Homo-oligomer: A and B are copies of this chain.
Amino acid sequence: MRAAIFSGPGAVEVGERPDPVIREPTDAVVRVVLGSVCGSDLWYYRGESAHAAGSIGHEFIGMVERTGAGVRGIQPGDLVVAPFIYSDMSCPHCLNGSTISCPAGGNFGNGQIDGGQGEAVRVPLAGSTLVPVPGSGHSDATLRSVLALSDVMSTGHHAAVSAGVKKGDTVAVVGDGAVGLCAVLAARRLGAERIITLSRHANRQELAREFGATDIIEGRGEEASQAVLGLTGGIGVDAALECVGTDQSIATACAVARPGSTVGIVGVPHGQVPFAETFFRNTGWRGGPAPARSYIPELLGDVLDGAINPGRVFDYETDLEHIADAYRAMDERRAIKSLVRMGAV
């Protein structure tokens, strides 16, 4: 089959990968309909982290083509959305909602297992991993929003859930990437009344407002912190959502989180957390990689109802043969997030 192949920093090209086949009774083969590029894909693309050569990607929706004898809950012909990690949903961690810690689970697009940036994927633990999308004849906009549940919207939701966003809250979102924008949408969905977004790009500000942001702060660092504190009477926000992971963004989230609140952190921390400082203000930290599989069912309902439209973060689109452009557009910050159209439903 045709698929994106990673061979080193900056080198994402389309080539041939073995056609996925059923290896375990719990496998399914899914023909990809839509895939996308994650902000975390840029880490290895830019050489900032290691990645095995071979298959890449971990965000996709597709049609089930074949299922192993042990697969329950899905069948050939189903439209499904895949969370970015597969899991068994029966171990103590999965049952506790921590699907990312499933001992039987693993990563898509890890060099060996395909991950949605190609024509098809062998999905391990398919019955527990894939979530069927009910109904038929969904619009393209709906399908794009379903795709967003694979990772980016689940991650934004995780930031909001981890910070304990509740009805009436004032929230600050640090980061105007696709995750930050989805965090705005998630905070609004959970009932936040005021959502302050840090953004310096007109197109992202516009989408943030569409998603529910009530205030936009254009500064960064100390200037941004002071601006948020100014908007909140010096008190700070009920929930700060950290969606970047740099020293500066972590420090900003820390500075604007009111005493006693919890920073929801989903930007992989590349910087050091000012732990002692937050300790003395009773500010906590929660987050990490989102347990997308646990979140998808409730978010999917809202997507299908039209209540949320996280697919709006895809502002660049191409096909598999041009997937290198999808990476370049994000790397050069021309795109918030790239969608790769593979096939029809």
Contact = CB atoms under 8 A, between A and B. Distances in A.
Interface of A: 92-93, 96-98, 100-101, 162, 233, 235, 258-260, 262, 265, 268-269, 272-273, 275-276, 278-289, 291
Given A98-B258, A262-B284, A281-B288, 10 more contacts: A93-B260, A96-B258, A97-B260, A98-B259, A101-B259, A101-B260, A101-B281, A273-B273, A275-B285, A282-B291
Contacts of A281: 98, 101, 288
A206 to B, nearest CB: 31
A282 B273 contact: no
A165 to B, nearest CB: 15
Most B CB contacts (10 A, CB to CB) among A283, A284, A287, A289 go to A284
A214 B278 CA distance: 32
A291 B289 CA distance: 31
A168 to B, nearest CB: 13
Nearest to A285: B285
Contacts of A262: 284, 286
Given A93-B258, A259-B101, A283 B279 contact: no
A129 B151 CA distance: 48
State how many copies of this chain the complex holds: 2
Contacts of A283: 288
A276 B269 contact: yes
B162 A259 contact: no
Contact of A289 (B162, B233, B280, B285): B280
Nearest to A97: B260
A38 to B, nearest CB: 16
**4 closest pairs, A vs B, by CB?**
A284-B286, A101-B259, A98-B260, A282-B288
Contacts of A287: 279, 282, 284
A192 B269 CA distance: 32
Most B CB contacts (10 A, CB to CB) among A101, A269, A281, A287 go to A101
A172 to B, nearest CB: 16
A279 B268 contact: yes
21 contacts: A92-B235, A93-B235, A93-B260, A98-B282, A100-B282, A101-B260, A101-B281, A162-B284, A262-B284, A265-B279, A268-B279, A273-B275, A279-B288, A280-B289, A281-B288, A282-B288, A282-B289, A282-B291, A283-B288, A284-B284, A286-B286
A93 B98 CA distance: 32
Nearest to A91: B235
A164 to B, nearest CB: 10
